[in-house]
Amino acid sequence: MAEQFDKIHSHIEAIANAMPDPIFVMGQDGTYLDIIGGQERSLYADGHNLIGKKYTDVLPEKMAERFLKVVNKAIMSGHLQEIEYQLADSEVQGIEPLRTTEGQWYEARVYPLDSEAYDQPAAIWLAINITNRKHMEEQIERLSSNDPLTDLYNRDYFMGVIDEELNKARLNHRPLSLAKINLDCFKRITDAYGHEMGDKAILTAAHAIKNVVKDLGYIGRLSCDQFMIVLPEIKAVDAFRITKLAQETISSQTIQLDKDEKTCLTSHAGVTELRDANEDSQVLFKRVNKAIKALDGTREKTRIL
């Protein structure tokens, strides 16, 4: 009987130690009591040196507090707890870092341990590295919000940004301006030289606008050759200057169309601002388009309305 028990115990121990993901035994007093598994060194550093140490000794203060709270909640409730967290190897004292890049993402499943083997209430903490999944989620989210060519916000997402910024402006009684820039020569370039050269023109314009706007506001690509900028806490007169600078930066760029021909990009732009708390994004859209329409037959390139 004893021999059979030893054999079973040996099998269980071999299986547990071979687990690629680590299982920590976490004490109610905030101590790492044991570690099982965690053999996949491409994902996890060796955590055995943590045994016997307090969370507060090896983790950043806020993270240690969070870990202890989750462990105690699992022990007191008797129910499974789940937690996601980001932690870099370099932030954990007492282990040999596997990497020096940004923190890895982990999902932990924490469950009370029904045993007196550790002389205090404890919980098992199964940590699973989910960094690849997180990166994939970020990419999917980015694809849903950003234009794939320019990496500016796409139309649908940008509409939400404008509505959010309008709400903030109304609530805080702060100014907000909207600017729209239409490229003049995109269709001509595409018709004569193809979509690849048209994409180059769009990228050139987008890069120029980003270099001017920077962190002053948000930029969206509304259609193939139309860009819009929302500028929180900026009045129309200042938005006019920013927009003109963006247009000048666009026109200062030279595009090599073929071996013998180059061109510069030109644009027309309209600028408006929030004038009344009852105005919504559609009102501002109509006004900024009207400003651009008013440029027809004139030598002006930018107008406030």
Give residue 174's pLDDT: 94
* pLDDT for 4: 64
SS (H, E, C) the chain: CHHHHHHHHHHHHHHHHCCCCEEEEEECCCEEEEEEECCCCCCCCCCHHHCCCEHHHHCCHHHHHHHHHHHHHHHHHCCCEEEEEEECHHHCCCCCCCCCCCCEEEEEEEEEECCCCCCCCEEEEEEEECHHHHHHHHHHHHHHHECCCCCCECHHHHHHHHHHHHHHHHHHCCCEEEEEEEECCHHHHHHHHCHHHHHHHHHHHHHHHHHHHCCCCEEEEEECCEEEEEEECCCHHHHHHHHHHHHHHHHCCEEECCCCCEEECCEEEEEEECCCCCCCHHHHHHHHHHHHHCCCCCCCCEEEC
Q: Can you give the pLDDT at residue 10? A: 67
pLDDT of residue 198: 81
Residue 228: which residues within 8 A CB-CB, separation 6 or more? Answer: 158, 178, 179, 180, 181, 219, 220, 222, 288
> Which pLDDT score is estimated for 11?
65
Domain 2-138 indexed as CATH 3.30.70.20? no
How many residues are there in the chain? 305
pTM for the full predicted model: 0.61
Domains 2-138 and 146-304 share a fold: no
Q: What is the pLDDT along the chain (305 residues), one digit of tens a residue?
A: 556 655 655 666 677 777 888 999 999 999 999 998 888 877 888 888 899 999 999 999 999 999 999 999 999 999 999 999 998 888 888 787 776 556 889 999 999 998 778 889 999 999 999 988 888 877 777 777 888 888 899 988 898 999 999 999 998 999 999 999 998 877 777 777 777 888 888 898 999 999 999 999 999 998 888 999 999 999 999 999 999 999 999 988 877 777 777 777 889 999 999 998 888 889 999 999 999 999 988 889 999 98
Q: Determine how many CB atoms are found less than 10 A away from the CB of residue 172.
A: 11
| Topology (CATH level 3) of domain 146-304 | Alpha-Beta Plaits (3.30.70)
pLDDT of residue 90: 84
Report pLDDT for 59.
92
Supply angle C-alpha 194, 197, 200, rounded to 5. 150
Please name every residue paired with 32 in a beta bridge, in sequence order, or none if there are none: 26
Domain boundaries, the chain: 2-138, 146-304
